[in-house]
C-alpha cells in the first residue's frame, strides 16, 4: 500500500501520513495536488507533499485519504520552495503556510465550481504610451542592459515622476518575452486606478486582480488563471505574492515602503521581503518603487555594508513637463492663533482655491468626530471597557466606537458618572473637521474620504469619480488619499496634527511621518496648475520639516540611518518579538519570563533577550498583552536562535486561554 505525507493547516511543525486506497494510485507527478483526508471527526483539505517509503506510525493505525483532487494541476516546485522559506524564516509551521496562502475556495471540502477567467472591469479603449522622459529612458536602459537573471532595483521617483509608466514598459517587455508579470500594491484602494491603466495598455494580455474584496469564487477563478498561465498579468495586494505563476518573469512592488505589505496576524510576513526572495529564487527582475522608500530598502541600495544589494534608480523630475513639485510651507502655530484648529493662512489659501475653481485637500490622519468624549465636571472620559484606549466619537451615526476592538456604544445624553448634560468632545477627527469647514465655506462642496465613508471598493470608486469629475471643492481625508492618485484640479494640501508623530515612542514614527507628508504633498500640482502644501506645526524648525520643504528624501533618510546605526536599530540589527495575551497580565508576563529563562540561550551570545514588558496598548478585547524583544546584529545568528528557541516555547505549559505569537522583523511596537 502506498503511504503519502500530507500538509495540513495546523499549528504543528510536522506532516501527516496517510494510506492511498487502491482506487487512488498516485505517482511522483501528483506531489502538489490537494487531497481530502479524515482528521479527527472531520475532513480537511491538505496538500500532498511526499511519497513515503515507510511511516513511523504502524500501518494498521494509518487512515486512508478520502480523495485526490485533480481539478487543479499540481502546485509547482518553486511554490514549495517559497513556502519552505517563509516557514523557516517566519517560524511558522509549513502546513499552515501552504494552506493559508491558497484561496479560501480551494481550502473548502466543497470548493466553488471552476469557471473560465473573465475580466473584472470594463476595458477602457487602448491608448498609446506617452513619451518617456530622459530619466525614465535611462532607468529602463539600465535594467535592459543588466541582462537576464535576478536583479533588484529600487526605483526612487518623486511623486508624479512617472514610476507607473516605467512599470508598464517593463510589463510590455515581459509580455513580449513570453513571461508573466506580478504587480503588488499595498492597498485595495490603489487597484482600480492601476488596473484601468494596465488594461488600457494591454487589453488582450489577460489581467486578473487578487485582493480580499473579490468574491470567493472570483478570487479562486483568478488564482487558477494565474496558476494555469492564462493570466499574463497579476495585480494584487500582499497575499498575491504566493500566487503560482509558471512563467513568471517580472515582479513589481509599488509603494514598497507601505506598512500594509506586512501581515499583522496569522503568518506575520512581509510581502515586499518575500517578493525579493521569490525573484532571487526564480532568477527574475524585481523593482521596488516609491517616492519615500523604506529605510531598509534605502540602506540596501546605498550602504555597501548591508548584505543585500539593490541598484538605485532615481527619477527627480515630474513626468509632465509643466508640472512642478508643490511648494511646502510651514505655519508656526505658536505665533498664529487658530480658529477651530485652522490657521488664518490655511483658510485664506482655501478661499483662493475656491475662487479659482481648484480643489483643496485637508489632511488629518484621524477619523471620527473627536478622539474622546469627556465631562468637564467630574472628569469622566469615554474609555473602552474592553481596551486600554478611548472610545472615539462618531457623531454622524451617533456612536462611540473603539478603533482597536470594534466595541460600540450609543453616545450618552449625560455624563454616566455625575449626570452632567454638558459633556464635550475633545480633539478633532475628520468628521469634526468636515463640519468646521462646512460652516466656514457654506457654498463649497465638501467630500470626506476615510474608512467610514469608503468601507468598500464600490464606495471608494464613487468617491474618486466625484473628485475626478470636479464635484468636490474641499476634500477632508486620511492617508487613504496620500498616495497613488492623480487629481488634476487639486492644488492645495493642508496638513493638520502632524506634530504628534515627531516625539512618539515608536522609533519608526519619523520615517512614517515623512513618508506620509511627502506622499500627500505629492497629490498637489500634478498637472499644469502649481501646487502648494501648508503644514501647521509648533516645531517649524524641526529637521524633518526642513527636509520636507526641500523635497530632500535622501538627506532625511541618510540622517535617520545614522541615528539607527548609533542606536543599533534595523537595518543595522535584526529583531523578533514574542507577544503573549491572557485574561491576566501576570499570566502573559510569566509565560514570557519562562521563555526568556531558556538555559541554552547562553549558547547564542550574539542574541539579546530584553525583559518582558506590557505592550503600549496593554489591554485589547479584554485580554492583557505583553511582549519580549529579541535582537541581534546578525540576521543569521537570530534565525539560528529562533529555530531552536521555538521548540522551548511550544513546550511551555500555560493557561488554555493564553495565546502567543512570534513575529520576525516586527514593524509595530
530 falls within a domain? yes
Cα dihedral across residues 339, 342, 343, 346: positive or negative: negative
With cut-offs at 50, 70 and 90, classify the pLDDT of residue 115.
low
Residue % of the chain over a pLDDT of 70 = 97
Same domain, 502 and 619: no
Highest mean pLDDT among 81-85, 518-522, 665-669: 81-85
Q: Does residue 195 lie within any of the structural domains?
A: yes
With beta carbons less than 8 A apart as the criterion, state whether 46 and 34 touch: yes
| Pair (93, 6) in one structural domain | yes
Q: Label residue 121 by pLDDT band (50, 70, 90).
A: very low
Domain boundary among 315, 349, 377: 315
DSSP state, residue 28: G
Distances (CA, A) of 98 to 46, 106, 275: 9, 12, 16
What's the average model confidence in pLDDT over 38-51?
A: 95
Q: Cα 390 vs. chain centroid, distance in angstroms? A: 25
Distance of CA 549 to the CA centre of its chain: 27
Nearest alpha carbon to residue 499 among 486, 484, 491, 509: 509
Gyration radius (Cα) of the chain, Å: 27
Residue 393, SS3?
A: strand
- What is the pLDDT at residue 122? 47
Question: In the numeric block, which cell numbers belong to residue 416?
Answer: 454616566
Alpha-carbon gap, residue 140 to 163, rounded angstroms = 11
Residue 179 has pLDDT above 90, yes or no: yes
CB of 295 within 8 A of CB of 564? yes
Between CA 19 and CA 10 the distance in angstroms is 20
Would you say 262 and 490 are in contact if contact means Cβ atoms under 8 Å apart? Answer: no
> For residue 391, what is the DSSP state?
P
Cα–Cα distance, 589 to 438 (Å, whole number): 49
In a domain, 600, yes or no: yes
Q: What is the CATH number of the domain that holds 243?
A: 3.40.50.300
| Same domain, yes or no: 632 and 584 | yes
Are residues 140 and 240 located together in one domain of the fold?
A: yes
Query: 585 with 438, same domain?
Result: no
Residue found by looking up cell 540561550 in the block? 601
The model's pTM is 0.93
Find out whether 420 and 414 touch, Cβ atoms under 8 Å. Answer: yes
171 shares its domain with 207 = yes
Q: Which among 432, 436, 426, 417 has a CA at the least distance from the CA of 372?
A: 426
| Contact residues for 224 (Cβ-Cβ < 8 A; gap 6+) | 72, 114, 117
pLDDT (tens digit per residue) in 181-230 = 999 999 888 788 888 899 999 998 899 999 988 899 999 999 999 999 99
> Considering 563, 595, 616, which residue would you say is the last residue of a domain?
563
**Geometric angle at alpha carbon 156, from 153 and 157, rounded to 5°:** 135
Domain, as residue range, for 590: 574-664
Query: Where residue 590 sits, what CATH number does that domain have?
Result: 3.30.70.260
Grid coordinates 514598459 are at which residue?
169
Alpha helices (H) along 344-492: 344-356, 430-440, 457-468
Average per-residue pLDDT in the chain?
92
Number of domains in the chain: 4
* 198: in domain: yes
Q: What is the DSSP string of 244-294?
A: --TTEEEEEEETTT-GGGB--SSS--BHHHHHHHHHHHHT-EEEEEESS--
What integer pLDDT is reported at residue 124 of this predicted model?
A: 54
> CA–CA separation, 33 vs 35, rounded Å?
6
> Could you tell me if 214 and 307 lie in one domain?
yes
Count of other CB atoms within 10 angstroms of residue 135: 18
| Structure confidence at residue 662 (pLDDT) | 96
* 597 occurs within a structural domain: yes
Q: Which of 624, 628, 627 lies closest to 585 in space, CA to CA?
A: 624
Segment 536-551 shows an average pLDDT of 96
Q: What are the residues whose beta carbons fall under 8 Å from the beta carbon of 554, sequence distance 6 or more? A: none
59 part of a folded domain: yes
Sequence-ordered list of residues with C-beta below 8 angstroms from that of 483, at least 6 positions apart, any chain: 190, 255, 258, 519, 520, 522
Scan for cell 505589505, then name that residue.
261
* 460 pLDDT tier (thresholds 50, 70, 90): confident
Q: Are 99 and 87 in contact (CB under 8 A)?
A: no
Helix (H, G, I), strand (E, B) or coil at 209: strand
Stretch 142-156: mean pLDDT: 95
- pLDDT tens digits along 497-509: 999 889 888 899 9
Element (H, E) at 153: strand 151-157
Q: CB of 136 within 8 A of CB of 165?
A: yes
User: What is the average pLDDT across 599-617?
Assistant: 95
Q: Report the alpha-carbon distance of residue 393 to residue 426 in Å, rounded.
A: 9
Q: How far is CA 80 from CA 77, 88, 286, in A?
A: 5, 12, 20
10 Å CB burial of residue 399 (0-12, 13-18, 19+) is middle
Please give the average per-residue pLDDT across 339-350, as a whole number.
95
What are the pLDDT digits (tens) for 366-389? 989 999 999 999 999 999 999 999
- The rounded distance, in Å, linking the Cα atoms of 599 and 196 is 57
pLDDT tens sequence across 236-294: 999 999 999 999 999 999 999 999 999 998 899 999 999 999 999 999 999 999 999 99
Residues 291 and 269 in one domain: yes
| 3-class DSSP assignment, residue 169 | helix
C-alpha–C-alpha distance, residues 65 and 59, integer Å: 13
Assess whether 178 and 306 both reside in one domain.
yes
What pLDDT does residue 528 have? 79
* Whether 629 and 559 share a structural domain: no
| Same-domain status, 470 and 354 | yes
- Looking at the structure, tell me whether residues 58 and 165 fall in a common domain: no
pLDDT of residue 1: 79
Q: How large is the greatest C-alpha to C-alpha distance in the chain, in angstroms?
A: 85
Taking the alpha carbons at both ends of the chain, their separation in whole angstroms is: 52
Residue 114 has pLDDT above 60, yes or no: no
Q: Does the pLDDT of residue 396 top 90, yes or no?
A: no
Coil/strand/helix, residue 62: coil
In the chain, what are the helix, strand and coil shares in percent, each to the nearest 5? 35, 25, 40
Q: Write the CATH number for 63.
A: 3.40.1440.60
Residue for grid cell 471620527: 368
115 is a domain residue? no
- Identify the bridge partners of residue 51 per DSSP, sorted by sequence position: 4
357: cell is 475653481
d(CA 541, CA 543): 6
- Is 632 part of any domain? yes
Provide the total of helices (H) and of strands (E) in the chain, helices listed first.
16, 28
DSSP string, 587-614: HHHHHHHHHHT-GGGGG-TT-EEPPPEE
Amino acid at each position: 500500500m502506498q503511504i503519502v505525507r500530507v500538509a495540513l493547516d495546523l499549528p504543528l511543525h510536522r506532516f501527516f501520513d496517510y494510506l492511498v486506497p487502491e482506487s487512488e494510485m498516485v505517482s511522483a507527478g501528483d506531489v502538489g495536488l490537494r487531497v481530502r483526508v479524515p482528521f479527527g471527526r472531520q475532513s480537511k483539505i491538505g496538500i500532498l507533499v511526499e511519497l513515503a517509503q515507510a511511516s513511523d506510525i504502524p500501518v494498521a493505525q494509518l487512515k486512508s485519504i478520502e480523495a485526490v483532487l485533480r481539478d487543479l494541476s499540481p502546485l509547482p516546485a518553486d511554490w514549495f520552495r517559497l513556502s519552505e522559506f517563509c516557514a523557516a524564516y517566519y517560524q511558522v509551521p509549513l502546513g499552515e503556510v501552504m494552506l493559508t496562502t491558497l484561496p479560501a475556495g480551494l481550502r473548502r471540502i466543497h470548493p466553488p465550481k471552476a469557471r473560465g477567467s473573465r475580466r473584472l472591469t470594463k476595458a477602457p479603449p487602448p491608448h498609446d504610451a506617452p513619451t518617456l522622459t530622459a530619466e525614465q529612458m535611462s532607468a529602463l536602459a539600465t535594467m535592459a542592459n543588466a541582462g537576464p537573471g535576478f536583479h533588484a532595483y529600487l526605483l526612487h521617483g518623486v511623486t508624479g515622476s512617472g514610476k507607473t509608466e516605467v512599470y508598464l514598459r517593463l510589463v510590455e517587455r515581459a509580455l513580449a518575452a513570453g513571461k508573466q508579470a506580478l504587480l503588488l500594491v499595498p492597498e485595495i484602494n490603489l487597484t482600480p486606478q492601476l488596473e484601468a491603466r494596465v488594461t488600457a495598455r494591454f487589453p488582450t494580455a489577460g489581467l486578473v486582480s487578487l485582493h480580499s474584496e473579490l468574491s470567493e469564487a472570483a478570487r479562486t477563478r483568478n488564482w487558477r488563471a494565474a496558476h494555469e498561465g492564462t493570466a499574463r498579468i497579476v495585480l494584487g495586494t500582499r497575499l498575491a505574492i504566493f500566487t503560482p505563476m509558471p512563467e513568471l518573469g517580472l515582479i513589481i512592488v509599488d509603494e514598497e515602503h507601505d506598512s500594509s505589505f506586512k501581515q499583522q496576524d496569522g503568518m506575520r510576513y512581509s510581502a515586499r521581503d518575500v517578493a525579493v526572495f521569490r525573484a532571487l529564487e526564480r532568477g527574475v527582475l524585481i523593482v521596488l518603487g516609491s517616492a519615500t522608500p523604506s529605510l531598509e530598502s534605502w540602506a540596501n541600495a546605498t550602504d555597501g555594508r548591508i548584505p543585500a544589494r539593490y541598484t538605485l534608480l532615481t527619477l527627480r523630475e515630474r513626468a509632465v513637463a509643466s508640472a512642478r513639485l508643490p511648494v511646502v510651507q510651514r505655519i508656526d502655530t505658536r505665533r498664529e492663533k487658530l480658529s477651530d484648529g485652522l490657521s488664518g493662512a490655511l483658510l485664506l489659501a482655501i478661499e483662493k482655491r475656491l475662487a479659482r475653481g481648484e480643489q483643496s485637500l485637508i489632511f488629518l490622519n484621524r477619523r471620527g468626530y473627536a478622539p474622546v468624549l469627556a465631562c468637564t465636571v467630574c472628569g469622566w472620559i469615554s474609555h473602552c471597557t474592553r481596551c486600554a484606549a478611548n472610545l472615539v466619537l462618531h457623531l454622524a451615526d451617533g456612536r462611540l466606537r473603539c478603533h482597536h476592538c470594534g466595541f460600540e456604544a450609543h453616545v450618552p445624553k449625560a455624563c454616566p458618572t455625575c449626570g452632567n448634560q454638558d459633556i464635550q468632545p475633545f480633539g478633532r477627527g475628520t468628521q469634526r473637521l468636515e463640519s468646521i469647514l462646512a460652516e466656514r465655506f457654506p457654498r463649497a462642496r465638501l467630500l470626506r474620504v476615510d474608512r467610514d465613508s469608503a468601507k468598500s471598493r464600490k464606495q471608494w470608486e464613487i468617491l474618486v469619480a466625484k473628485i475626478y469629475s470636479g464635484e468636490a471643492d474641499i476634500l477632508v481625508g486620511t492617508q487613504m488619499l496620500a498616495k497613488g492618485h492623480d487629481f488634476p484640479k487639486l492644488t492645495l494640501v493642508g496638513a493638520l496634527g502632524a506634530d504628534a508623530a515627531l516625539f512618539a515612542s515608536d522609533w519608526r514614527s519619523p520615517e512614517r511621518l515623512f513618508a506620509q507628508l511627502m506622499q500627500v504633498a505629492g497629490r498637489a500640482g500634478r498637472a499644469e496648475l502649481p501646487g502648494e502644501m501648508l503644514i501647521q506645526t509648533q516645531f517649524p524648525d524641526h529637521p524633518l520639516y526642513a527636509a520636507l520643504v526641500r523635497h530632500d528624501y535622501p538627506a532625511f533618510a541618510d540622517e535617520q540611518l545614522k541615528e539607527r546605526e548609533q542606536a543599533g536599530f534595523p537595518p543595522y540589527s535584526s529583531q523578533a518579538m514574542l507577544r503573549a495575551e491572557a485574561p491576566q497580565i501576570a499570566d502573559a508576563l510569566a509565560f514570557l519570563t519562562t521563555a526568556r529563562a531558556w538555559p541554552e540561550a547562553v549558547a547564542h551570545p550574539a542574541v539579546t533577550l530584553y525583559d518582558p514588558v506590557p505592550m503600549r496598548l496593554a489591554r485589547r478585547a479584554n485580554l492583557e498583552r505583553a511582549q519580549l524583544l529579541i535582537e541581534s546584529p546578525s540576521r543569521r545568528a537570530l534565525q539560528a536562535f529562533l529555530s531552536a528557541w521555538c521548540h522551548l516555547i511550544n513546550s511551555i505549559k500555560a493557561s488554555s486561554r493564553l495565546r502567543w505569537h512570534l513575529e520576525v522583523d516586527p514593524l509595530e511596537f
